[in-house]
Structure 1
Amino acid sequence: MTTITHHIPEPVLAAYAAGSLDHPFALVVATHLSLCDDCRASFEAHEAVGGALLEQITPEALSPALKPGLMQMLDAPFEPEPVFRRAGVYPGPVMEALKGRPPRWKRLGGGVRQTILSAGEAGSARLLYIPAGQAVPDHGHNGMELTLVLQGSFRDETGEFRVGDVEIADDTLEHTPVAGVGADCICLAATDAPLRFSSMIPRLLQPIFRI
């Protein structure tokens, strides 16, 4: 089993436990937690602290105007959400984002492909497929990016990232990720702002590929 050496930072785990993390980043965290015992234990500790704090809050009486609506919601039929399990290299949270279907890859050039899982004002989440030994164009960041390796590996100026590892990038990092030899690299990446490419062609194609 691969040893995970790059983990989710504690402030991000705390935000996820509090339910305040935007969806694209929450998807990466949930997927990492499904792979990492250490971060899952830390997350459960954050949940326990949050639960203890909630127990100390003085309860508020429900107003007569809200009570009928609340009782109606409690009486409404409950339809459980479908449970998606791991399929191949894709953990359950990724399969949920894929709605149980295989990724629909779109070519970006140089053999690199992507599947956009979500995109909106809060940012975007996508799967990236990078052939072994292939480099992603040099780029910087206008915000935060979390990249989780699901298959293979990649290396950049900050180190090497293998299955289960998460790279945290911000606007101070400019790098050229290169997929490792052996298995092709598949990553789950979330960003809250467009990337900042160094060369002209990626910048021209950026609006088309939504990266």
Structure 2
Amino acid sequence: MNAHVQHHISDELLLDYASGTLAEGWSIAVATHLALCPSCRDRLSFMEHAGGELLEAVEVEDSASASESWTSMMNKIAADNRRPAAKAPARIVETGDVVIPEPLRSYLGTDVEGLKWRALGRGAYHIPIKTGDRESQVRLLKIPAGKPVPEHSHGGRELTLVLKGAFTDGSTVFRRGDLEEADETLTHQPVATPDEDCICLAVTDAPLKFKSLLVRLVQPVLGI
């Protein structure tokens, strides 16, 4: 197990990914985390195996006695291995000096040294990532070492996956491979650790709700 990955995909997200029901943007984040996290790859394999066994059991039984809840669970985790967002298998294990693993690297066309960043202000940069998904917005973020993200809450779900460096959120530290999942209940201000810039993949399904009036004024231009 990779000792550096401490914050993992929730069971709900991993089940949705296994069943092929996640929209493309969320699937990119999950598949990229899987490339960096042996523990979650094992969890996914277990879910797929258990789902296959449940499917076989229901097919053999083939009777009305199979409960609706059983069938619902089977349909949820007995995946047909459809992963519309993943352009590479989920079980890729990246080694060496690669910063951006597959499948995310295929969307960007390069590793980190070839990226063309767009300024967000105050030293921060981003790269919007195009997908065929109308449900979510996907972007790469680079936050300067020691600098905070503007304080914000959420209109929906937000996934943040650390690819390089680290950030703190309150007393919790998120490092390479760690995934933070936020929702409407969380107001926070992540801060990049002072040792190096933090590069993250961020996926949202609604505009962020910034506390700062200035940030809110430029938000439509920035597209965040």
Q: 1:36-115 alignment to 2 at 5 Å? A: 36-55=37-56, 56-57=58-59, 88-100=98-110, 102-115=114-127
2:208 to 192, 195, 209: 195
Deviation, 1:103, is 2.6
Pairing 1:162–2:175 present? yes
The TM-score, its normalising length taken from structure 1, stands at: 0.82
Structure 1 or 2, whichever has the larger Rg, is 1
151-160 vs 92-101, greater mean Cα deviation? 92-101
Could you tell me which runs of 5 or more consecutive residues in structure 1 were left unpaired when the two chains were aligned: 59-80
Could you tell me which runs of 5 or more consecutive residues in structure 2 were left unpaired when the two chains were aligned: 61-86
Write the deviation string for residues 152-182 of structure 1: whole angstroms up to 9, x where unpaired: 0001225111111111111111111110011
Aligned amino acid, residue 173 of structure 1? L
* Cα distance, 1:85–1:2 mapped onto 2, change above 3 Å: closer
Q: Which runs of 4+ in 1 moved over 4 A?
A: 81-87
The TM-score, its normalising length taken from structure 2, stands at: 0.77
Contact 2:88/2:102, CA 8 A, preserved across alignment: no
Alignment partner, residue 135 of structure 2: 122
Instruction: Report how many aligned residue pairs link the two structures.
Output: 189
Q: SS where residue 92 of structure 1 aligns?
A: coil
Alignment partner, residue 189 of structure 2: 176
Q: SS where residue 115 of structure 2 aligns?
A: coil
Q: SS where residue 89 of structure 1 aligns?
A: coil
Calculate percent identity across the aligned residue pairs: 44
Give the root-mean-square deviation of aligned CA atoms: 2.3
Pairing 1:19–2:20 present? yes
Measure the CA separation in 2 of the matches of 1:118 and 1:144.
Answer: 19
* Cα distance, 1:194–1:30 mapped onto 2, change above 3 Å: same
Alignment partner, residue 132 of structure 1: 145
Write the deviation string for residues 128-149 of structure 1: whole angstroms up to 9, x where unpaired: 0011001111100010111010
Write the deviation string for residues 38-73 of structure 1: whole angstroms up to 9, x where unpaired: 111001111112323444448xxxxxxxxxxxxxxx
Contact 2:127/2:139, CA 8 A, preserved across alignment: yes
Deviation, 1:90, is 0.5
Pairing 1:143–2:144 present? no
46-55 vs 111-120, greater mean Cα deviation? 46-55
